[in-house]
Amino acid sequence: ETNTLPFHPFENQQGDILRVEKEHQVLQEQLKEAEEKFEQLQSRSLEEIGALEELLKKSIEETEVSQNELDWFHQDSEAQMKKWQQEKKENRENLKALRSTAKKHSDTNERYVKSIDDKEKQYNVCLNTFLETSNKFAHEKGKLEELIKKSQDDSQECEKRAVKAEVSVLQTWKETETWKLKGTIAKAEGNLRMLKALSSSASAAPVLKSQIDSWEIFIANVKKQLEKVEAEYDEKMELVKNGARGCLSKVEVVEFPFP
């Protein structure tokens, strides 16, 4: 009965501890999956942010180049006003095109900045969700680990009691069998003493010699059987104490017929 009843107070019915362990494994797998998804999202977000930063840098450089060109055209127009009078119209058109390009780059820059802000917000939301989930799982994991440790301690205590019970049963069997064998030896020795007393008569000695020999052989065999039984029971008890299982069985005892 010892390892088949529910283990109170940790089990209301048999298998509760195993079910808790399975739920713990499921939670660990869910945590691992959440971490993998978070790492993938983080990696993708970092790549997108890096690409946007490169585009932003390129846009700023193009804007600076455009602004420098614009300044150069202003200076050149003032210095060469008379010389470039004929080309004033063309220069104005070029200036307009450059300003349009600068505005276009500026608008692109604003879009990239806004996109980077949106990505950062998404990243922060994912990070907070991950941290909240991770903390929740860590708390539940801690509670489960405490329950598992307590259950293991209680299981070890039950195992010790079971070993003690098995040793006690083996000791009882040993004492019972040795008591029977010792009783047989005592009875046989009593008969042998009686035969030896009767054999003191010269007329009865030849008749009783064979019987005396038979009883002496019988007593020797029973004593060997007694030693064997004691040794085997001692071995079984030692195996049980060392953690062996399946040793709770009686030692086979050979019954010798009385001469």
In order, the DSSP letters of 144-200 are HHHHHHHHHHHHHHHHHHHHHHHHHHHHHHHHHHHHHHHHHHHHHHHHHHHHHHHTT
Q: What's the pLDDT score for residue 204?
A: 60
Residue 63 CA to residue 56 CA, distance in Å, equals 10
Q: What's the pLDDT score for residue 190?
A: 94
Q: What's the pLDDT score for residue 7?
A: 66
Mean pLDDT (the chain) is 87
Q: What's the pLDDT score for residue 249?
A: 86
Res. 93 pLDDT band, cuts 50 70 90:
confident
Tokens coding 105: 């780059």
> Which of 158, 145, 138, 125 has its CA nearest to residue 6?
158
The greatest distance separating any two alpha carbons of the chain, rounded to the nearest whole angstrom, comes to 171
Contact indicator for 63, 109 with CB cutoff of 8 Å: yes
1 against 236, higher pLDDT: 236
Q: What's the pLDDT score for residue 202?
A: 54
Asked whether residue 94 carries a pLDDT value surpassing 70, the answer given is yes
Say which residues have a Cβ less than 8 Å from residue 13's Cβ, sequence separation at least 6.
6
Tens-place pLDDT, residues 137-176: 999 999 999 999 999 998 888 888 888 898 999 899 989 9
- 3-class SS of residue 130: helix
Q: What's the pLDDT score for residue 4?
A: 66
